[in-house]
Amino acid sequence: MSSRGLLAIMHKPAARSLFAVLFCMGVGLAPTAHADVAGELARFQEYFLNKHPDLPLAKYADGAFALQPNGAEELAALRRSVSLENIIKRGRALYAAPFANGKGYAACFRSNGLGIATDYPYYDVLAREVKTFEMEINECRTRHGEPPYAYGGAEMTALLAYLTETSRKNIITVVIPDNPDALAAFEKGKQFFFARRGKWNVACAHCHMEYDGKRLGDKTLSPALGITSYFPAYYGQWSEVGTLHRRFSDCMARIGAKPFPAQSEEYRNLEFFLGFMSNGVPLSGPDVRP
């Protein structure tokens, strides 16, 4: 297919999501995705792209703002009023400070850990679990004799904010290796997303798939597509920057379900599912939300 032909069909929503599939299969760093999983990705993205035909895949990085009438202006205004400069600066300092053994994060990650946030989450076939960036940051610390950071704590969030900032605009390319354990983790994440839970008997999919763009109270519901692209994020209700898993727990509390701990297997599998389904969306984190 000529590149001009590709550009032409990119105007069709379905073709855009097909492109996302081809993208992650072709550019993927690990073995190609299981055929069923690729088909699921296409169907999942088509659902959103058909529902919001004027919204290109990349705009899903704006979350709920992308679905609001004056969303772009509101997001720009919020970005002006909430500065993320300090937390990024703090994260940069934490990154630059050497460990007691003289080593640093550069010793643990490819590209010194910079610009690689889109590598996560990934399925670690040897460890037989989903690995997130936070997890590997702590694994790096303990390997070099440093105490691990508390998940969701100020240091971890700042470091994550900085490392994510170095990856901004990179395209999400979560890969599912053709491995039964990896597929099982993906399936568990999917189950989690579609299962009703809590006193209020609501599934993630209700708010973030069926009713995305609608308002829950005065807040617009974000689409599940792209939902992993803008974290860590500042939220008005926190008055600070927090992680994706913290946001998962907000939702759980909201529907009257007991939240799981940050970095629990449940949340990591969910992040794996949502990350894969967000393939093709550029990272915009750390970002701001009302």
For other proteins, the binding residues (CB under 8 A) are: 36, 40, 43-44, 47, 51, 180, 183-184, 187-188, 190-203, 205-207, 209-211, 214-218, 221, 256-258
**Dihedral of CA 74/80/82/86: which sign?**
positive
From residue 168, give the alpha-carbon distance in Å to each of 239, 280, 284, 289.
Answer: 22, 13, 5, 17
Active site residue ranges: 251
**Cα separation of 280 and 286, whole Å?**
18
CB of 178 to other proteins, least distance (A): 13
CB of 36 to other proteins, least distance (A): 7
β-bridge mates for residue 241, sequence order: 234
For residue 76, what is the enclosing H or E element? Answer: helix 71-81
C-alpha 272 chain-centroid distance = 8
From residue 285, give the alpha-carbon distance in Å to each of 113, 222, 289.
Answer: 16, 15, 11
**Cα separation of 165 and 74, whole Å?**
21
Q: Which is nearer to other proteins, 51 or 92 (CB)?
A: 51
CB of 211 to other proteins, least distance (A): 5
CB of 195 to other proteins, least distance (A): 5
Q: Which is nearer to other proteins, 51 or 144 (CB)?
A: 51
Residue with tokens 């760093």: 29
Q: Which is nearer to other proteins, 37 or 160 (CB)?
A: 37
C-alpha 214 chain-centroid distance = 21
Q: Which is nearer to other proteins, 50 or 142 (CB)?
A: 50
CB of 272 to other proteins, least distance (A): 14
Residue with tokens 């400069």: 85
Q: Which is nearer to other proteins, 79 or 219 (CB)?
A: 219
